[in-house]
Each structure stands twice: as C-alpha cells, then as structure tokens.
Chain A
Amino acid sequence: MSSKQKFIGRSVPRLEDRTLLTGQGRFAADVNFPGQWAMRVVRSPIAHGRLRGIDASAALTMDGVHAVWTFADVAHIPPIPFRLTGLKALEPYQQRVMASDFVRYVGEPVAVVFADNAYIAEDAAETIELDIEPLEPVMKATDAPGPFDATKNTEPDVLHKGYGDVDAAFKAADSIVTLELSVGRHSGVPLETRGAIGYYNEALGRLEMHGAAKVPHWNRDTMGRMLGRTRDDFQLFEGHVGGGFGIRGEIYPEDLIVCAAALHFRKPIKWIEDRREHLITANHSRQQTHRIRAAIDAQGRILAIDDEFFHDNGAYMRTHAATVPDLAAAMLPGPYRVPAYRATAHIRLTNKTPCGTYRAPGRYESTFVRERLLDAIAANVGVDKVEIRKRNLLPKNAMPYALGLETLGTHIVYDSGDYGLLLDKALERAGWPKLQKEIAKRRANGEKVGAGVAMFVEKSGLGPFDDVRVEVKNDGNIELVTGAASVGQGVETAMAQICAETLGVDYTTVNVIHGQTDRIGRGLGAFASRVTVMTGEATKRASTKLRAHILNLAAELMQAEPTQLDIVDGEIVRTGGAPGPSMKLIDLAKAKPGELIAEDTFESTHMVYPYGVHVAAVRVDAETGGVAIEKYVMAYDVGKAVNPMLVEGQIAGGLAQGIGGALFEEFLYDEGGEPLSVTFADYLMPTAHEVPESSILITEDAPSPLNSLGLKGAGEGGTNPVGAVIASAIDDALQRPGAILSLPVTPQRLRAICKKT
C-alpha cells in the first residue's frame, strides 16, 4: 500500500491560470523586437476580378514607409500546400501568398506595406490604388460550376464513399424518406486575432516565427521547405494562444510573407490582424447542402442511406484540402446500423473566404443531417424520436465495429461504446418522461415548447505518433517536453497530472514545455482532439520509463533492489512504508546530473471514438422568432477523464459555439460577393445571455482499448450535435416535423417559418 497521490481523474486547478490571470500571458501581439517594422496587408475589395495593376507610389513617399511588396516580390514562394487529406486534383486550386493575375474573394492579399508602426502602415495601405476588372462571381455551391480560370472550373473534385448495395436496398424498401438540408457558413472566431512576427536572429543565422499555434513542427517543416530553410535554421515559437477551434495556426499567406520579409530586410516584421481582416480572411467553415434519402422498413429501420452533398469551400483549397467533406461523408452514419451507404461529396469553390476546419468539422454538419433524417423517419412511421433511435442503434456487442469507411488516412473502427446505455442515462438526467408531461401541459396552454434529442459518435486521438521527453532537473522540478501545442484547453495541467501520478511527484512540480520547435525534433501539435490521447499516452510511457530508470539509479545508492523502492511525493522510499533510509529526487538529480531523463513515443494507426447524447428543451416566440433554451443536457463518454473539470469546461465551451452556429452565427455575402459580416456587430456570437446553464454528464463506461488509460478526447463533443438537437426541439415546439431544414435558425428565418402555415 503506498500513499501515492492520485492525479489522474481529479479536478485539480490549472497550472496555466496564474500567468493568465495576472496579465503575464504572452500572446502574439505581446511579442516585440527592437527595431521591428509593422506589416499591413492590402486586400482585394472585389470578390472576383482580373488584377491589372497596383499603384503604390503615394505610399512609398510617406514618412516611415519602407517598402511595398506585391506578387512579384513573393513569386518565389510556392502555393501553400495541404496538411491533411490532400488530393492531386485539388492541388491546382491552392492559394498563393498574394494574388497575381486574378482576385477570387474580398480580402485576398494583393500587396503588403512595411512601415515603422501599424498606424503608418495602415495609412499607407489606404493610399494604394488597385486596378481590378470585375468578373462575375460564383456565390452558390449548389449552382452549376463556373470557370475558375481558363482551364479549370469551380468543382475541383467529387468524393465517393460507401459500401453495400444501396440501389437494391432502395428497391426493397417499405418507404423512402427524402430531405434537403443545409448548414450555414460560420467559424471558430477566436477572441485573439491571428498574428505572426518574423525575426531573423543574426547571431544564430536563424529565421524565427513567433505567434505559432496548433502545429508548429509541421509548419516549420513546410514553411522551411517553401522558404528554402533547413530544420536547423528555421524555428517556430508558440506563446499563449487565444483560442484555436481548428482555424488558428494553419499556414496562412501572412505567415509566409512576414518570414520572407524578415529574411529579406533583416528586420523583425510584425503583423497583427484586425477583427475585420479576421472575419473576411481567416478560414471559414461548415457551409454545406445535403440531399439525402433513406430506405427504411415498416418499423423505421434503416436499410440504406444515400447522400449527395455540396461543400462550399470558398475561393481556394487551403491546408485542410478535402478534410471537412471527407469527414462529413465518412462520419455521417454515426451510432446507427446502416447496412448500405453511399455518399457523393461535391467539393465546390465560390468567391468567398476559403475554408478550413472548425470544431467538430464535418460532424456538426453530418450530425445535423443524420439526426434530422432520424426525426423524419420517426415522423414517417409514427413513432417517437427516442424509439426510432433505439431501433437503429448499434448494440454494445457490435463493438469494436468496423464501419467500412476511411477518413484521415485510417479505417473507421469504433473502438468501444454502449450507445443505448448512454441514451438512457441522458434521458434520465433530463427527466425525459416528466419533461414530456410538462411540455404537453404548457402546450395545451398555448405555449410553443418542445424537446429534442440527438446522438453522435465523435473521433479523437489521431496518430500516427507523439514523442515526450521527461527529465528531473537539478532543482527537483520535472520538465516535460512535447511536440504538442496548446490552444488554451489545459494541455499543461493534463500532461502534468499524468506524469506526476505515474512518477510519484506533485503535479505542480511538472513544467510542461510545448510548441517550441527547437526543444524537440518532431511533434504533431494540437488538433482533432488528439493531445490528451496521443500525448497523454506518450507522457505515461515516458514517465514510466523515467520512474524505472530512477529506481535503478537509486537502488545502487540506497543498497536495495529497485523492486523494493517507490517514489512518493518526490521522495524515493522503501515500498509499502518499510523502514530504511529514503532519498529526495532532487538529491538524486544532483548526484547524477543530466541522467534522470527518459523519452518515449506512442504510435497509433487508429483513432478512438467517444460518443454522446444531447437533450434540449426550447420555447419559441412566434412573434419575434426568438428561441429560448430552457434546458440543456449533455452526456458524453470519454473513456477516462484525466481532469473532469477541464473536460466539462471543454464541453460547456463547445456548447456555446454550437448554439452560435444553430441560432446566430453566419457569414453572409451580397450577390456581388461583398461580405456583410465584418464586425462583431454583424457576426453575432452568443453572450452570457444566450448560453443557458447546462447539465453535463461525463461517463467512463467504454474506455478505449487502444491506450493504457482508456482515454478518448473531449474537445468536440460539446459542439457536434447542437444544431441537430436545437432543430429537433424547435420542430417539436412548432409541432411541425421537418420545419427546420437549415441552420442557423435566426429570428428572421424562424419568424418566416412560423408565418408559413
């Protein structure tokens, strides 16, 4: 019996907090170098046009302006390549760092100004005159493809996924349910805008980029190749990051331009995005239209699903390439048994901001579509929405379940799960039968109230590897170096907890270093809810190794067998409290400087699959089109929660973003391609008023068999089904199945729906 402290599974306070709470955080805009120049980007004011000329003469005469660059100055930089899900057919549509002959969205960089400070750079940018001949823009992904340039059109590729005999199933069906559904264009919109600071470190002959996020190692390798730098003479540094959500930290044009300029001018170059720029140039996401059909039997059991959808990717294929449509197509079946399946995904370009991923990419969309379909099937056969789900759910004994589809380079195999159990738990937490009674009563009094339920399977823990190095430093503190990154989700604390418990020290003594490409050779960063699973398991392995190594070293000094020793609270003691001398870790570290170190790797070729259920009750105001969320319950099985408080935090935060996409947020454009959502006054994110108190149930019923702790990631489960469940609840409130066919359900739209009878 050891009295070792348990940290895994405990809601300990975050190590990150003190720095952030006292204003000592170091975000991109906080990074400064003496003698730096500010960069301002001149952007196309026209959605589609031929760029005929740029006149920068006035800017160049202004005091404090050093240079203006146009395409010719960056022509040596190749187009920005794909990071995930790249396809040959998509490559000709990659974005250059500045426009050369054509502009394809409002906000596309056409020139940059370098000046003494941001105010002067902005003044100068305003004097630059652009000669652009306007061309007809393509604004709808569902319209027939238009020209991209002389040789290509705006449909770069069509993805096909599926299995089974779909056509036979439709022939054999008792009935067929058909829907057209669409999800609006919204995105992560972190509160910190993007920023990049290029710095040429003369002393080391090293080019540096500060303000990195998400995937520093991948970006270093890729940008290094693009700029002709080696791994040693190009390094990226991640400071604090003010929210990620998929969009921050991908390689954008501005990152490359600041680095190229720092190298060329041998001056630190600082670029900090303003909010308008962010809303028109950083990755958008989500916008899809699905035409879906289900073949069902008389009991509402699904025989086949056939889905054709149109993915509006904006003006270029950015780093995520086909990731979002691919995930949407691959994960649409969700927790249900779908004997035959076919998805046809049209990747379409329009003259809008290019797209990438946003929290639960492809799943927010496909869960909305699938769960609307389940509700429609329920209405078709006349059973309730819970019953229809139960009839179609995959049973526990089907696990592990090979879906027969691939995405992100791996076969989808649901590793573990008990979907029916979680549904029961969620309904119980929501008090479903009582809720139904109350709703019926209030409805009889004329209130428009209703409830919805939605289920989903998430994915997380994308490999293929993660490395971790752990060392006991001479001051007795532990240093953990990883190639993971942080976007504010609590990586340092979670890794410290796993390391501390494994090793036998206090978690506050573990100092986690991440996002520094000069500290560890390779790393995959933070995306797709991968860190806790991949880096967590690597941390466990490295810490286990270090522990064994420490006990071996101590055994010699303490004249004992390693098996007779244990580490408790940073002290090496005899196992089970047996009497005998002990030794502090710090003393061993001093006695063996540089030796208390271990490294390990976790490799995995399969993802893990957390799953969840959301239940919502809403009240609709038919006069104003407003939706009040009266109750919201989220049940999520994460296999093992390292820090339940952080998991709940992720889920609650994810809910707010899901509500934004369900009810408020949308990037709108006029027919000419002019963006209409350019400030926080017209891109509406939920505030403390709109986000309800929610009830979060974290379960650990189905630990993952793919890692030693049973971990499944938790970053996206709060967001995934929110559009689906809100739509279901509004339908119910209106007592009109299938009333909601598109998101967001803004007040204007809902009023229009209420008026239509």
Chain B
Amino acid sequence: MSEKTDVTLTINGKDYAIAVEPRRTLADAIREDCGQTGTHIGCEHGVCGACTVIVDDAPVRSCLMFAVQAEGKAIRTVEGLADGDKLHPMQQAFMDNHGLQCGFCTPGFLMLAVGVLEREPNISDEALIDVLSSNLCRCTGYQNIIKSVRAAAQEMRK
C-alpha cells in the first residue's frame, strides 16, 4: 500500500507537487501535504460536509475523493476566498449575521454556499435550505447560517 504517485494539486491557483499513496484522500493531501489546514475533517464518511472544497467550480467533499483524482483540476479552499484583507462577501455575511460559533464547520459551509451561488445566483429559498442541509453544524442551530447565505447571495448578485 505504500507505493506513492507523483501528483500536482492546484490549490487556490498555486501548484503543489506532492507524492501520495493512491488511497490518500484529497482532504488529507490538502491539509497535510499542502499545509492548507483551513479545510476540516469532521466525519471522513461524507456526511458532515466540513471538508467541502470547490473542485472545478463544484463543491465536493474532499474526504470522499482521492488526491490522485484531483490532478489537473482547480481546487479552491477557504484560504483562497478573501481578496487580501478584504473578506469575500460570504465571509463578511457570516461575520455580520453571527453565522458561526466554534467555526469548525464554517469553511465547509462557506465553500458549499459559494460553490452553489456561483452556479445558481438566483437560487430559491427552498432550494437553498435543501443545499445547506447537506452540511452539519453543531453550534449555531443553522438559522444564522441561512441568514448569512441569503445576505451574501444578494451581495454576490450585485
């Protein structure tokens, strides 16, 4: 199991040349081989969504994808959201609407919401709750997360 393959991951526009076992998850590779620990692991079995990143413009659960499968694809993580000191509208909305407490689920929610809104800026409220119900948060009770994403959606449409 220990044979390693060379892969290059492109994370937030930067290339990381790493050697990984074929079974290494994308989440582990992003965190440990590329040092981007903003992406979190809450369950490793695809239910909690804490590990959500955007791969080629679609939100995916990086614990369910192997690093080798991400070769050549554009990966975006929470570290790439802000523009220098200026927060992404989604980040700003989470801050303004108290959309986070411990912050552990937050990167996953941010990437999920950004990924979805970029594809579907006029998403209906109902569909939005459907989407957000695919990630778990244990602290906030979700209402402020929903509020944050709605506020950001307006901002992103501008």
Interface residues of A (CB under 8 A from B): 13-14, 16-27, 29-30, 63-64, 119-120, 123, 188-193, 240-245, 274-275, 487-490, 645-646, 648-649, 652-657, 679-681, 685-689, 691, 693-694, 718
Q: With contacts A17-B94, A23-B107, A654-B141 known, is A243 near B44, CB below 8 A?
A: no
Instruction: Give, as a whole number of angstroms, the nearest-CB distance from B50 to chain A.
Output: 6
Decide if B78 touches A649 in the complex (CB within 8 Å). Answer: no
- Kindly state whether residue B73 has any CB partner on chain A within 8 Å: no
* Contacting residues, chain A, for B130 (C-beta < 8 A): 689
Q: Which residue of A lies closest to B136 (CB)?
A: A685
The 8 A CB mask of B119-155 against A (1 = contact, 0 = none) is: 0000000000110111111111111111000000000
- A-contacting residues, B30-78, CB 8 Å: 31, 36-45, 47-48, 50, 77-78
- Kindly state whether residue B91 has any CB partner on chain A within 8 Å: yes
Q: Kindly state the separation between the CA atoms of A638 and B105 in the bound complex, as whole angstroms.
A: 28
Decide if B101 touches A22 in the complex (CB within 8 Å). Answer: no
* Contacting residues, chain A, for B141 (C-beta < 8 A): 652-656, 691, 694, 718
* Contacting residues, chain B, for A64 (C-beta < 8 A): 2
Total interface residues in chain B, CB < 8 Å: 56
* Contacting residues, chain A, for B100 (C-beta < 8 A): 17, 20-21
Of A25, A63, A245, A688, chain B has the most CB atoms within 10 Å of the CB of A688
Decide if B103 touches A240 in the complex (CB within 8 Å). Answer: yes
Decide if A653 touches B140 in the complex (CB within 8 Å). Answer: yes
Q: Which residue of A lies closest to B80 (CB)?
A: A23
Decide if B24 touches A689 in the complex (CB within 8 Å). Answer: no
Decide if B45 touches A688 in the complex (CB within 8 Å). Answer: no
- Kindly state whether residue B96 has any CB partner on chain A within 8 Å: yes
The list of the 8 closest CB pairs from A to B, nearest first, reads A23-B38, A488-B102, A20-B103, A242-B104, A680-B47, A652-B141, A23-B78, A656-B141
Decide if A25 touches B103 in the complex (CB within 8 Å). Answer: yes
* Contacting residues, chain A, for B98 (C-beta < 8 A): 14, 645-646, 648-649
Interface of B is mostly: loop
Of B78, B132, B143, chain A has the most CB atoms within 10 Å of the CB of B143
Q: With contacts A680-B45, A688-B142 known, is A489 near B101, CB below 8 A?
A: yes
* Contacting residues, chain B, for A718 (C-beta < 8 A): 141
Decide if B91 touches A22 in the complex (CB within 8 Å). Answer: yes
Q: With contacts A23-B78, A191-B137 known, is A688 near B101, CB below 8 A?
A: no
* Contacting residues, chain A, for B7 (C-beta < 8 A): none
* Contacting residues, chain A, for B143 (C-beta < 8 A): 652, 691, 693-694
Instruction: Give, as a whole number of angstroms, the nearest-CB distance from A35 to chain B.
Output: 15
Q: Which residue of A lies closest to B1 (CB)?
A: A123
Decide if B95 touches A14 in the complex (CB within 8 Å). Answer: yes
- Kindly state whether residue B18 has any CB partner on chain A within 8 Å: no
- Kindly state whether residue B156 has any CB partner on chain A within 8 Å: no
Decide if A653 touches B101 in the complex (CB within 8 Å). Answer: yes
Instruction: Give, as a whole number of angstroms, the nearest-CB distance from A661 to chain B.
Output: 13
Decide if B43 touches A680 in the complex (CB within 8 Å). Answer: yes
* Contacting residues, chain B, for A17 (C-beta < 8 A): 94-95, 100, 103
Could you pull out 8 A-B pairs where Cβ atoms are within 8 angstroms? A22-B91, A29-B37, A119-B23, A242-B104, A275-B48, A656-B140, A686-B142, A688-B146
* Contacting residues, chain B, for A685 (C-beta < 8 A): 136, 138
Q: Which residue of B lies closest to A248 (CB)?
A: B102
Q: Which residue of B lies closest to A486 (CB)?
A: B102
Decide if A22 touches B41 in the complex (CB within 8 Å). Answer: no
Q: Which residue of A lies closest to B102 (CB)?
A: A488
The 8 A CB mask of B85-115 against A (1 = contact, 0 = none) is: 0010001001110101111111100100000
Extra contacts, 12 of them, besides A17-B95, A694-B143 (Cβ < 8 A), are A21-B103, A119-B24, A243-B102, A243-B104, A275-B42, A488-B139, A652-B143, A652-B144, A653-B138, A656-B141, A679-B47, A688-B145
Instruction: Give, as a whole number of angstroms, the nearest-CB distance from B32 to chain A.
Output: 8
Total residue contacts A-B, CB cutoff 8 A? 176
Instruction: Give, as a whole number of angstroms, the nearest-CB distance from A37 to chain B.
Output: 14
- Kindly state whether residue B81 has any CB partner on chain A within 8 Å: yes
Q: With contacts A488-B139, A680-B136, A688-B145 known, is A23 near B39, CB below 8 A?
A: yes
Q: With contacts A20-B100, A23-B37, A275-B43 known, is A13 near B142, CB below 8 A?
A: no
Q: With contacts A14-B98, A192-B40, A689-B133 known, is A22 near B79, CB below 8 A?
A: yes
Interface of A is mostly: loop
Q: Kindly state the separation between the CA atoms of A648 and B136 in the bound complex, as whole angstroms.
A: 19
Instruction: Give, as a whole number of angstroms, the nearest-CB distance from A265 to chain B.
Output: 21
Instruction: Give, as a whole number of angstroms, the nearest-CB distance from A113 to chain B.
Output: 16
Instruction: Give, as a whole number of angstroms, the nearest-CB distance from A719 to chain B.
Output: 10
* Contacting residues, chain B, for A489 (C-beta < 8 A): 101-102
Q: Kindly state the separation between the CA atoms of A123 and B143 in the bound complex, as whole angstroms.
A: 41
Q: Kindly state the separation between the CA atoms of A490 and B98 in the bound complex, as whole angstroms.
A: 10
* Contacting residues, chain A, for B87 (C-beta < 8 A): 18, 21-22
Q: With contacts A191-B50, A192-B42 known, is A241 near B102, CB below 8 A?
A: yes
Decide if A190 touches B104 in the complex (CB within 8 Å). Answer: yes
Q: Which residue of B lies closest to A718 (CB)?
A: B141
Q: Kindly state the separation between the CA atoms of A27 and B146 in the bound complex, as whole angstroms.
A: 25
Decide if B101 touches A488 in the complex (CB within 8 Å). Answer: yes
Decide if A189 touches B43 in the complex (CB within 8 Å). Answer: no
Q: Which residue of B lies closest to A118 (CB)?
A: B28
- Kindly state whether residue B17 has any CB partner on chain A within 8 Å: no
* Contacting residues, chain A, for B103 (C-beta < 8 A): 16-17, 19-21, 25, 240, 242, 488
Q: Kindly state the separation between the CA atoms of A487 and B134 in the bound complex, as whole angstroms.
A: 24
Decide if B102 touches A242 in the complex (CB within 8 Å). Answer: yes
Q: Kindly state the separation between the CA atoms of A64 and B101 in the bound complex, as whole angstroms.
A: 39
Decide if A488 touches B91 in the complex (CB within 8 Å). Answer: no
Instruction: Give, as a whole number of angstroms, the nearest-CB distance from A495 to chain B.
Output: 16
Decide if A119 touches B21 in the complex (CB within 8 Å). Answer: yes
Q: Kindly state the separation between the CA atoms of A123 and B2 in the bound complex, as whole angstroms.
A: 11
Decide if B95 touches A191 in the complex (CB within 8 Å). Answer: no
Decide if B138 touches A27 in the complex (CB within 8 Å). Answer: no
Instruction: Give, as a whole number of angstroms, the nearest-CB distance from A262 to chain B.
Output: 20
Q: Kindly state the separation between the CA atoms of A680 and B37 in the bound complex, as whole angstroms.
A: 23
* Contacting residues, chain B, for A648 (C-beta < 8 A): 98
Instruction: Give, as a whole number of angstroms, the nearest-CB distance from A670 to chain B.
Output: 21
Q: Which of B43, B78, B137 lies in contact with A679, CB distance below 8 A? A: B43
Of B36, B48, B101, chain A has the most CB atoms within 10 Å of the CB of B101
Instruction: Give, as a whole number of angstroms, the nearest-CB distance from B134 to chain A.
Output: 8
Of B31, B37, B39, B133, chain A has the most CB atoms within 10 Å of the CB of B37
* Contacting residues, chain A, for B139 (C-beta < 8 A): 191, 243, 488, 649, 653
Decide if A21 touches B102 in the complex (CB within 8 Å). Answer: no
* Contacting residues, chain B, for A652 (C-beta < 8 A): 140-141, 143-144
Q: Kindly state the separation between the CA atoms of A16 and B105 in the bound complex, as whole angstroms.
A: 15
Decide if B107 touches A191 in the complex (CB within 8 Å). Answer: no
Q: Kindly state the separation between the CA atoms of A751 and B85 in the bound complex, as whole angstroms.
A: 54
* Contacting residues, chain A, for B105 (C-beta < 8 A): 191, 242
Q: Kindly state the separation between the CA atoms of A29 and B31 in the bound complex, as whole angstroms.
A: 9
* Contacting residues, chain B, for A192 (C-beta < 8 A): 40, 42, 102, 104
Q: Which residue of B lies closest to A29 (CB)?
A: B41
Q: With contacts A22-B78, A25-B38 known, is A191 near B21, CB below 8 A?
A: no
Q: Which of A25, A274, A488, A681 lies in contact with B44, CB distance below 8 A? A: A274
* Contacting residues, chain B, for A191 (C-beta < 8 A): 40, 42, 48, 50, 102, 104-105, 136-139
Q: Kindly state the separation between the CA atoms of A188 and B102 in the bound complex, as whole angstroms.
A: 13
Q: Which residue of A lies closest to B23 (CB)?
A: A119
Q: Which of A24, A63, A243, A490 lies in contact with B2, CB distance below 8 A? A: A63
Q: Which residue of B lies closest to A694 (CB)?
A: B143
Decide if A23 touches B96 in the complex (CB within 8 Å). Answer: no
Q: Kindly state the separation between the CA atoms of A205 and B77 in the bound complex, as whole angstroms.
A: 38
Q: Which of A13, A18, A120, A687 lies in contact with B136, CB distance below 8 A? A: A687
Q: Which residue of A lies closest to B82 (CB)?
A: A22
Instruction: Give, as a whole number of angstroms, the nearest-CB distance from A633 to chain B.
Output: 14
Instruction: Give, as a whole number of angstroms, the nearest-CB distance from A715 to chain B.
Output: 11
* Contacting residues, chain B, for A22 (C-beta < 8 A): 38, 78-79, 81-82, 87, 91
